[in-house]
Amino acid sequence: MQALRLAYAASAGRETLRAVGVIGCGPLGLTSALLAQQAGLSVCIYAKALPPGVPSMGATGIWSPDSRFCDVQHGPAWASRWNEMADASFSQFQRVAQLPGSSIEWVNGYRLSDVPFSSEEKPARTKDAWEPEYAEFARKFLPPQVELPPGSHPFPAPYARGWTSLMFNITSYASSLMTDFLDAGGQIKIQEFTHPDELLVLPEDTLINATGYGAKLLFNDHTIIPVRGQTVRLVPQPEVRYGLRAQDFLVMPRRDGVLIQNMDDAGSFDNSNDEPDYADAIAVVEQVAAYVSRMRC
């Protein structure tokens, strides 16, 4: 939505905008391309790789518009824009979740703790922190968390909260987006850009930048800060239908493979290393296995 608004603003004073180029073919690039098509525009995507070979395919998959976002310098004006975009996003995905198939669906989960949630201390904010500033706004879209009394659940931790959220099965979601884009007459061209001047020779006058973290190098944009995050994908397990957040791990019951993420963020801020850490992967899977083995049947 925001990308299209900027595209129309950029075309002001010219002939009617008819064609748009999208740089990047991750879920954001594909979504921008589909929105442009719905506005009646001819769209071509330029990308060096296609799903599932794009970095965003490794994302956790939970709908969390406040995640890894901490820019408050723009004040109330940006907060208003963020609310507008989050509202449009949630409305669209909520409708899609009601359709047949499982690319987007509602999922339940549990957050577990060894101490009462009311006594948890929020860590002091430092220059290396990226706690979302919009978390309170995001909660208005989702059902409230429900605290479960100790002894009323099967988990080894005494304290538990139930939560509900939207979840993306990213493999099937990206495939669905690409199919819809191509069926509507969209074009995709494999092309890698190493300098902004290379964009000037494209036939489209208006471009949507959907390069994600790649924009830091392509456009020399140092306001983009990497936050390393490693996920582990297990084989699909249809019987696992709820998420877990405990100790240092998060488990998401994705249909395209149960996903586990190490939530210990130490050393992750401003860490551009994208090489898999197999020792870390094994350790977090073993932590989940040990935790689940203590659950009551």
Q: pLDDT of 205-253, one tens digit each?
A: 899 999 988 999 999 998 888 888 889 999 999 999 999 999 999 999 9
Q: What angle do CA 62, 68, 73 make, to 5 degrees?
A: 140
Q: Are strands 42-47 and 231-233 parallel, antiparallel or unpaired?
A: unpaired
pLDDT band at residue 15 under the 50/70/90 scheme: low
CA 74 → CA 71, 204, 235, distances in Å?
A: 7, 31, 43
CATH classification code of 108-166+229-297: 3.30.9
Rounded to 10 deg, the angle between the 170-183 and 27-38 helix axes is 30
The phi and psi torsions of 33 (rounded to 5 degrees) equal: -65, -40
Report pLDDT digits (tens) over 134-151: 666 777 888 999 999 988
**Distance between CA atoms of residues 94 and 166, nearest Å:** 8
Please give the share of the chain, as a percent, with pLDDT higher than 90.
56
pLDDT band at residue 118 under the 50/70/90 scheme: confident
Q: Are 130 and 137 in contact (CB under 8 A)?
A: no
- Rounded mean pLDDT of the chain? 86
Q: What residues have CB less than 8 Å from 245, skipping those under 6 apart?
A: 109, 110, 111, 112, 251, 263
Domain spans in the chain, listed from the N-terminal domain onward? 108-166+229-297
Q: Of residues 266 and 107, which shows the higher confidence score?
A: 107
Q: DSSP per residue over 152-210, as a string?
A: SSS-SSSEEEEEEEEEE-HHHHHHHHHHHHHHTT-EEEE---SSGGGGGGSS-SEEEE-
CA 94 → CA 142, 182, 256, 279, 281, distances in Å?
A: 11, 24, 20, 38, 32
pLDDT band at residue 77 under the 50/70/90 scheme: confident
- Expressed in percent and rounded to 5, the helix, strand and coil fractions of the chain are 35, 20, 45
Mean pLDDT of 10-33: 80
- Residue 13 scores a pLDDT above 60: no
